[in-house]
Amino acid sequence: MADNSKDNNAYWAANKRIIGISLVIWFVCSFGFGILLRPMLSGIAVGGTDLGFWFAQQGSILVFLVLIFFYAWRMNKVDAEHGVEE
């Protein structure tokens, strides 16, 4: 019984670590680059606008979509490692 609890804790620790890293990446890209660092990024042009505006309008959404696919791919690997794959 204690071994199963240990496996469950390891599984959820891995899951929470992946979620935490993904949220930090998304926060940095959306809030950091789009709002806080926008003045520093204003000199870099992307698609006719500055990079800070691009991150605020497009970049954070694209990063979010990439993170969704990364999370699904990585959790499939974690599921297989812990024997709980579908």
Domain range summary for the chain, segments of one domain joined by +:
17-82
In angstroms, the CA 19 to CA 62 distance is: 17
pLDDT for 12-38, tens place per residue?
999 999 999 999 999 998 888 888 888
Whether the predicted model's global pTM rises above the 0.85 cut: no
In angstroms, the CA 43 to CA 27 distance is: 22
> Taking Cα atoms as reference points, which of 24, 22, 8, 6 lies closest to residue 72?
22
CB 72 within 8 A of CB 42: no
pLDDT for 34-78, tens place per residue?
888 888 888 888 888 888 888 888 888 899 999 999 999 999 999
In angstroms, the CA 83 to CA 80 distance is: 5
In angstroms, the CA 56 to CA 50 distance is: 10
